[in-house]
Amino acid sequence: MHDLQDRVAIVTGSSRGIGRAIALELASRGAAVVVNYAGNAAAAAEVVALIAGAGGRAIAVQADIRVAAEAKRLVAEALEAFDTVDILVNNAGIARDKLLMRMSEEDWDQVLNTNLKGAFNCIKAVQRTMLRKRSGRIINIGSVVGLIGNAGQANYAAAKAGLVGLTKAVARELGSRHITVNLVAPGYVETDMTADLPPELLQKAVEMVPLGRLAQPQDVAGVVGFFASDAAAYLTGQVVCVDGGMAM
């Protein structure tokens, strides 16, 4: 299936985990992919090599999306390499989990700046190109935690809930130019972020999921691929939980 042939996608935080799976999924559908990373150059290069090895086009771009100028540079490098940007996936995210009483101001700021402000910076940087083309796909990666909350994740839940509001507001602003803005909210996904959780916590997480398993990164990537495609042209402002039924 090459339904994204001749499209160009930026995927933030795509050197590993869900972002890596999304980059590979979009590339498998024919898109040229800008693999954005914050620090792990080797992991980003590996994703680029996998895409190139399968006959696709990709570049890696280091940029700290918390900084507006860096987000602008990310988009500028994408335009320089591929002439346009059709798809933006705001996936970059971090967690600094602590109970609120122990959470420092820095724990709060780092998570909000990466997970929420980073998405704002990237949308702002890319929107002019999409407005000029009168088309585009913006897909934000949220979390079911942003919808139902989770003890010890006040910063993360607030940032991901903020992404829901950002998604809907921007969907209303950009809809008349055929730019769709949607959010995919994963539940627990098997990545290196969850690999560090104690086994009893993971077991508890699985018990909360009606489908009885954690998500694989590909489960999330497939839904992102759908939102990026023409099949989703009439969907905007939507929140889709990819969580095995956890948050219903």
Provide the whole-model pTM: 0.96
Q: In this model, does residue 193 exceed pLDDT 70?
A: no
Choice among 20-34, 58-72, 137-151, 203-217 with the minimum mean pLDDT = 203-217
The encoded tokens of residue 73 equal: 């540079």
The encoded tokens of residue 208 equal: 């909360």
pLDDT band at 244 (very low <50, low <70, confident <90, very high): very high
CA distances from 124 to 98, 104, 226 (A): 31, 29, 23
Q: Note whether 137 and 86 are within 8 A (CB).
A: yes
State how far the Cα of 214 lies from the Cα of 211, in Å rounded to an integer: 8
Tokens 């903020």 correspond to 162
Nearest to 18 by CA among 173, 238, 225: 225
State how far the Cα of 10 lies from the Cα of 37, in Å rounded to an integer: 11
Summarised one tens digit per residue, pLDDT across range 103-132 is 999 999 999 999 999 999 999 999 999 999
| Mean pLDDT value across residues 186-209 | 83
- How many CA atoms lie within 13 Å of 22's alpha carbon, on the beta-carbon side? 31
The encoded tokens of residue 160 equal: 């991901």
Nearest to 10 by CA among 91, 116, 67, 66: 91
Q: In whole angstroms, what separates CA 51 from the centre of its chain?
A: 18
Catalytic residue numbers? 156
pLDDT band at 217 (very low <50, low <70, confident <90, very high): very high
User: Residue 95: what pLDDT?
Assistant: 94
Summarised one tens digit per residue, pLDDT across range 150-176 is 999 999 999 999 999 999 999 999 999
User: Residue 119: what pLDDT?
Assistant: 98
State how far the Cα of 242 lies from the Cα of 189, in Å rounded to an integer: 9
Share of the chain above pLDDT 70, in %: 99
User: Residue 234: what pLDDT?
Assistant: 98
